[in-house]
Structure 1
Amino acid sequence: MRDRFTVPIMLCLTFIAGSWAIQPRWISLFNGKDLSGWVARGDATWEVKEGVIIGQNGRGHLYAAPVVEDFEVKGEFRITGQGKGANSGLYIRASEPEDNPDGFPRGYEAQICNNQEAHTGWLWKPGKPTGKATALLTRDGEWFLMKVRAIGDSINIWVKDQLVMSYSDSEYKKGKFAIQCHNPGMMVEARNLYYRKLK
């Protein structure tokens, strides 16, 4: 009787272990110490303090080195007003404009902003709110987790582990990750930044 159940159980465990084994591993984008592997564009100033990337004092974008196509990326973010409205974003499949490397990236942006209709969790294309987030789950001065998955033309955004945006678009197929500091009078912070390739 015991043998009748042992074989199926062992097969199930083998399948589960195999599934775990083929999951792509998470790769750190940030060493927690300095901005090695990142390139700053624009006027914002970027620094690292106590394991946190901090951007402020202007408009600019901080690009990570990897160029990826299909992936998941996640991190913890916080924005704070310093006299003006705080606005940031996590860019995916992004690149510096050839005619103006300090300008807004060409790519998709997972919005981070709590003071406008196209708020945190919306998908933006350059200058245009594109994929609507179903709920605003964040507020200024509060850390939150964001995750983005892009596979082919399918793009999904999670905020605080809740899926808030799903959209299909194929304009940008691969590129870099970037963090935005939208304007003077605000601060953006980021930590625990990881990605994994899905192709």
Structure 2
Amino acid sequence: MVRSCDKACVGILALLSSVLVTSQLATASDGEDVVVSLFNGRNLEGWKSEGKAHWEVQDGLLIGRQGENNSPGDLLTEAAYANFDLIVEFRVTWPANSGVWYRYQSADQSYQADILEYKNPVAWTGTLYCTGKMFIAINKDPELVHRDSWNTLRIRADGNHHVVWLNGTEVANVRDDTSARGRIGFQIHAGDEFAKMQIAVKKVELRAL
């Protein structure tokens, strides 16, 4: 009787193990909940600098600032992405005019979740910019921005549907067809008024949709 029970238990465990492995393989193959870190915390592998802004890695953080003579520039992924859920954790030295590029094909075809304090029209970090169209969604609440600490931008791009959250609050929800696929990156704007600007990034994580 004991031996029969042992055999039955072994059979049940084997079946459960098989089901678990099959389930894990199915999840992995479906690509569900697979989060990819685009910044490794050590170097700029997988990224390409365009323009004259200065980019480096310090103490596990991605640091960006203006180049010589307040020159601008971008740091962009080498790979392009279409539909995704992106999370970026950053902090800024103000005043600043920066942002997170996505679906970047060129300076004339891309989107940017802005990191700024804009005066006309009034717009704060989390505002969604589209090249050729200016702002297509505006964050009008300055209280959502953590000026002296870390912020989290979440960008979800699915087809022509764009949603942006700043520190957990939705600040943009629009539909636009300007760009369907492109690179992800960061911008450093020109101008001597932003001479002290520095953006520090500690997390860039993407989940494909």
The TM-score range, normalised by the shorter chain, is: 0.7 to 0.9
SS at structure 1 position matched to 2:81? coil
The CA deviation at 1:87 is 1.1
Whose radius of gyration is greater, 1 or 2?
Answer: 2
AA at the equivalent of 1:77: F
Paired position in structure 2 for 1:132: 138
Paired position in structure 2 for 1:39: 48
Aligned residues: 172
2:73 maps to 1:60: yes
Paired position in structure 1 for 2:150: 143
SS at structure 2 position matched to 1:34? coil
Partner deviation per Cα, 1:122-145 (whole Å, 9 max, x = no partner): 110126111122533114332101
The CA deviation at 1:67 is 0.9
The CA deviation at 1:164 is 1.4
TM-score (norm 2): 0.75
Instruction: Decide whether aligned partners of structure 1 residues 141 and 181 sit closer, same or farther in structure 2, where only a CA change above 3 A counts.
Output: farther
2:117 maps to 1:123: no
Task: Give the RMSD, CA atoms, in angstroms.
Answer: 2.1
2:84 maps to 1:71: yes
SS at structure 2 position matched to 1:30? coil
Structure with the largest fraction of strand: 2
On the 8 A contact 2:109/2:178 being kept in 1, the answer is: no
Paired position in structure 2 for 1:175: 182
On the 8 A contact 1:79/1:88 being kept in 2, the answer is: no
Q: Distance in 1 between matches of 2:159 and 2:118?
A: 31
Q: How does 1:93-108 map to 2 (within 5 A)?
A: 93-96=103-106, 104=107, 106-108=109-111
Q: Distance in 2 between matches of 1:166 and 1:133?
A: 11
Structure with the largest fraction of helix: 2
Give the 4+ runs in structure 1 shifted more than 6 A: none
Paired position in structure 1 for 2:169: 162
Segments of structure 2 that go 5 or more residues without pairing to the other structure are: 1-19
On the 8 A contact 1:86/1:140 being kept in 2, the answer is: no
Instruction: Decide whether aligned partners of structure 1 residues 87 and 140 sit closer, same or farther in structure 2, where only a CA change above 3 A counts.
Output: farther
Instruction: Decide whether aligned partners of structure 1 residues 86 and 105 sit closer, same or farther in structure 2, where only a CA change above 3 A counts.
Output: farther
AA at the equivalent of 2:137: G
Q: Distance in 2 between matches of 1:90 and 1:141?
A: 19
Higher deviation after alignment, 174-183 or 107-116: 107-116
Partner deviation per Cα, 1:43-63 (whole Å, 9 max, x = no partner): 110000011111112311000
Higher deviation after alignment, 22-31 or 45-54: 22-31
AA at the equivalent of 1:193: V
Identity %: 29
On the 8 A contact 1:114/1:138 being kept in 2, the answer is: no
TM-score (norm 1): 0.79
On the 8 A contact 2:124/2:140 being kept in 1, the answer is: no
